Structure 1
Amino acid sequence: MSRREQIEALLADDPNDAFLLYGLAMEYRKEGAYEEALDRFKLLVKQTPPYVPAFFMAGQMLAEADRANEARTWLREGIEEANRQGDAHAASEMSELLMTLGQLGE
């Protein structure tokens, strides 16, 4: 059984577990299954409170996939959420990545 399959089995018991959803998204990302990963990141940011690392990882993944405009959107929203949650470190990491992508659309 692959790591992804193991995580999926655990999620069957607790489908809203943020740690498991994040792990599954990261496994999909590793496999190059970006849309599946993005779907899991979207679930994570809809949780209460939104799972801040999902914004950063989605932004990073989208940037790597040459989807810079989408990456910028995820990062901007992530910075706002990180600031709301008092997570200055995450906000700083996302700001740095956003700067490397440029603030404006291409």
Structure 2
Amino acid sequence: MQRIDKLKEYLQAQPNDSFLQHALALEYIKLGDDAAAQPLFENVLAHDPTYIGSYYHLAKLLERTGNKDKAIATYEKGMQHAKAARDMHAYNELQAAWEDLTDY
């Protein structure tokens, strides 16, 4: 909980910091708290759609919680942003996860 408390403290000073929100969401996932992580990832992507790493983690969370269609859409949107950013590593990771989920 120390990391979570520290990240929350930092977020009070910088509430729109994508890195801090993403990091806090990952900490919640480590605790198995997808319900706390999801809105953080969604907020990151709503305010910073080029924060590509959040697409993968949000889509995986959506898969775990049974939201297959939303997960697929999230992977696809992430692939679009990764391609636009010429981040082929992220694109390939998103595509591989998308293919696993869609049985492509």
Give the TM-score range, shorter chain.
Answer: 0.7 to 0.9
- Alignment coverage as a number of residue pairs: 104
The one-letter amino acid of 1:17's match is D
Aligned to 1:62: 62
**8 Å contact from structure 1 (residues 44, 50) kept in 2:** no
Aligned to 1:27: 27
Q: Quote the Cα distance in structure 1 between the aligned partners of 2:29 and 2:64.
A: 11
Aligned to 1:3: 3
For residue 46 of structure 1, report the CA deviation from its aligned partner.
2.2
For structure 1, the residue ranges without an aligned partner over 5 or more in a row are none
Q: CA RMSD in A?
A: 1.8
TM-score for both structures, normalised by structure 1: 0.86
For residue 7 of structure 1, report the CA deviation from its aligned partner.
0.5
The one-letter amino acid of 1:28's match is Y
For structure 2, the residue ranges without an aligned partner over 5 or more in a row are none
The answer to whether residue 14 in structure 2 is matched with residue 14 in structure 1 is: yes
Q: Quote the Cα distance in structure 1 between the aligned partners of 2:87 and 2:72.
A: 19
For residue 103 of structure 1, report the CA deviation from its aligned partner.
6.1
Residues 23-78 of structure 1 deviation map (CA, whole Å, 9 limit, x = unaligned): 11111222222232111111111234521000011111222333222211110111
Where in structure 1 do 4 or more consecutive aligned residues deviate above 6 Å? none
Q: Quote the Cα distance in structure 2 between the aligned partners of 1:71 and 1:92.
A: 16
- Residues 63/48 of structure 1: CA separation in 2 closer, same or farther (3 Å cut): closer
Q: Quote the Cα distance in structure 2 between the aligned partners of 1:26 and 1:48.
A: 17
The one-letter amino acid of 2:81's match is E
The answer to whether residue 90 in structure 2 is matched with residue 93 in structure 1 is: no
